[in-house]
Amino acid sequence: MCGRFILVAKAKDLAQHFGIPLEEAIEMCQADEVARLNVAPTQNVLFVRNEQGERHLAQGRWGLVPSWTKALDQNRLTFNARLETAARLPTFRSAWRQRRCIVPATGFWEWQDVGTKKKLKHKVSPTSGPFLAMAGLWDSWTNPSDGEVLESTTILTTDAAGAIRQIHHRMPVLLATSDWDAWLNPEFDDPAGLPSLRAESHVDELRTEPAEPPPPASDRPRQGTFWD
């Protein structure tokens, strides 16, 4: 899964890397840079989407609210969508077809089971380049009581690969630059066929490091007990 991520970047670097207007990045970041070390579900996040054939930066609630929802359910867990099922589940399938996006990050946090009721926090970051391009979906919901529009997003996850698999059984879906345009294009009808959606294609692009000291050796499980 992906339940916490990091975005620390200058607006100009964000604009240049993702091909979005600089003034838009500055406006969305509300400054020349953004420094968010622990982005959590239900908070506002930035995402890149296609608007009339061009990339633009938007922001919305992390936790997708489908357009057909009658009332906002704060307890609904929609901050992640499984790559394997998103195309057919009612909550995500419309967004999968027409409203795909990229959620920029400079890293994410993951927790490894290392004993009874104990988890070891890890930081995962790119080995080269400043950003991760996490595959996402977005939607727009209008509150029937007051007409207020809420935009929201979710991050796709897939089976973990490489070193990530030793920490957690799921990881965010990452997109190679060569697949961005196709992924964002609502007229592209085979997003599941994009090569970079396979986790194995990114195993050399990520590094992991414990974010806190590990527990004593006697508290650690035997090798393999945290595999799912």
Residue numbers annotated as active site: 2, 110
Note every long-range contact of 164-168, with CB atoms under 8 Å and residues 24 or more positions apart, other chains counting.
Answer: 164/110, 164/124, 164/199, 164/203, 164/206, 164/208, 165/227, 166/112, 166/226, 166/227, 167/110, 167/111, 167/112, 167/122, 167/124, 167/208, 167/226, 168/1, 168/110, 168/111, 168/112
Bridge partners, residue 112, by sequence: 120
What is the H or E stretch that residue 179 is in?
none
d(CA 45, CA 226) in angstroms, rounded, equals 30
Query: Which string of b and e fits 125-162 if b means at least 16 CB within 10 Å?
Result: bbeeeebbbbbbbbbebeeeeeeeeebbbbbbbbbbee
